[in-house]
Amino acid sequence: MGSVLPYLPVYFAEQGLSDVQVGYVLSLGGFAVLLTPVLTGLLADLRVENRTLLAGVFIATSGTLAWLLACHDFWWIMVIHGLFWLAFVPATSLQDGLAFTEQSRRREAGLAAVPYHRVRVYGTVGFIAPSIVLYVLMSEYVGLSIGVSLACGAVVGLLAVGNARLLPRTRGAMGSSSISDEVAVLSPPQKDGRGTPTMQALRRMMQPDIALFCVAMWLVHVSAGAYYSFYPIYLTREIGVGNQWLGPISTVGVLLEVGYILAFAWLLKRFGLKWLMTIGVAAVALRMAMLAWMPTLAVAVGTQAVHGLMVLVVHVAPPVYLNHRAKPAYRNSIQALFLMLVYGTGRITGSLLGGLIAEASETKTLAVFGWAAVAAGVSAVLFAVAFKDRGCGEMDV
- pLDDT, one tens digit per residue, over 125-160 is 888 889 889 999 998 889 899 999 999 999 999 999
* Residue 346 maps to a domain: yes
What is the reported pTM?
0.76
* Residue 181 maps to a domain: no
The least confident of 175-189, 222-236, 367-381 is 175-189
The segment with the largest mean pLDDT, out of 128-132, 171-175, 346-350, is 346-350
CB distance 146 to 243 below 8 Å = yes
More confident residue, 175 or 154: 154
Alpha helix segments (H runs only) across 174-245? 197-205, 208-233
Percent of the chain residues topping a pLDDT of 70: 92
Per-residue pLDDT at 42:
83
* Residue 2 maps to a domain: no
Residue 193 has pLDDT above 70, yes or no: no
* Residue 3 maps to a domain: no
* Residue 279 maps to a domain: yes
Domains identified in the chain, total number? 1
Domain extent for 134 = 8-176+186-394
Q: Is the dihedral of CA 76, 78, 81, 85 positive or negative?
A: negative
Q: What is the CATH number of the domain that holds 42?
A: 1.20.1250.20
pLDDT grade, residue 187 (50/70/90)?
Answer: very low
Distance CA 150, CA 15 (A): 14
What's the whole-number average pLDDT of the chain?
Answer: 87
pLDDT digit string, tens, across residues 277-286: 999 999 999 9
Residue 88 has pLDDT above 80, yes or no: yes
* Residue 238 maps to a domain: yes
The residue among 92, 34, 53, 97 whose CA lies nearest residue 326 is: 97
Residue 182 has pLDDT above 50, yes or no: no
* Residue 253 maps to a domain: yes
pLDDT grade, residue 394 (50/70/90)?
Answer: low
Residue 249: is it exposed, middle or buried by C-beta count within 10 angstroms (0-12/13-18/19+)? Answer: buried
* Residue 1 maps to a domain: no
Per-residue pLDDT at 180:
36
